[in-house]
Amino acid sequence: MDVRRCTPRISTAFLLTALVGCGGTSDSQSAASATVASEPREPATGAVTDDSLRLPVPEHGENIDDGVVEAARQFAIRLATPALKVPGAADFPVETICCERLAFMHTSTGGKMDHWLVDGTVTTGGIRRPQWRMVIARLDDSYIPVTVSLNGVEIYHLRSHSQLLSDVRQTEIEQRQLQTDAAKAEELAAKRAVWKELEATKPAEQKAEAALKLATSLLDAGRIDPARKRLQEVIDKFPGTLAAAQAANLLDKNRGDSAEE
């Protein structure tokens, strides 16, 4: 399907209305009065949990825009048709539809949610009548309509869109924090592995000296019995070292002493 792409022509007021989820009217409301139902009506609202307003994303699309036009067309049929005076004669030709991806929304949600601005025309009896416009969003594997207007008159908006964006952004922040924590944990584990490797390669004399130092500190603190145990460990684990000889000498000197731990 060869669908023409829209040149940049996004209305700031429209996008603010669409993305914040506020209702509103425009000066083009009078232009719509000949085709749109004459009785004023409140814009329809919807929640993201409404499965009837979700359409699946194509499984094997060649690019990210595949499926957007047809999804928007189906939403337009569903939401714009009831607002027409003669809904039974309405058609939504695909050749009149153009779409524009809102890249800034992709960036603002950390790449988790895409949005498009889509325009199209309703025809009755082969004559082009009102213009419809919508913002459509992709959430996970589904498309959802955010806002729909007919000749500038808003006929639908997703009130939960602002909260939805907030949730998506919060999820992205939490995922980044988890990734940061995981990276720090991995870095710490790597450092510990290096420390263990260095410890394993230390000469026996260095290890014996460190163990003797702990034993002598216990002696200095008057903890004779635990000091004896440490001295004996130095003798047993590091035989033949200078520290083992010093430990044996200290152990002999303190055999007759005793103290509470």
Q: Mean pLDDT by 10-residue block, N- to C-terminus, for the chain (261 residues)?
A: 47 46 36 37 47 82 85 92 81 92 79 88 81 90 90 84 65 75 87 77 80 89 89 89 89 69 42
SS3 152: coil
> Is-contact 134 118, C-beta < 8 A?
yes
Q: How far apart are CA 196 and CA 128, in angstroms?
A: 77
Which ranges in 156-239 belong to alpha helices (H)? 161-201, 204-220, 224-237
Q: CA dist 30 to 69, 127, 237, Å? A: 28, 19, 96
| Distance set, CA 206 to CA 33, 169, 239, 243, 245 (Å) | 93, 53, 13, 9, 14
| Tokens matching residue 244 | 């083992």
**Is 0.85 surpassed by the pTM of this model?**
no
- Give the start-to-end residue ranges of the domains of the chain: 12-172, 204-253
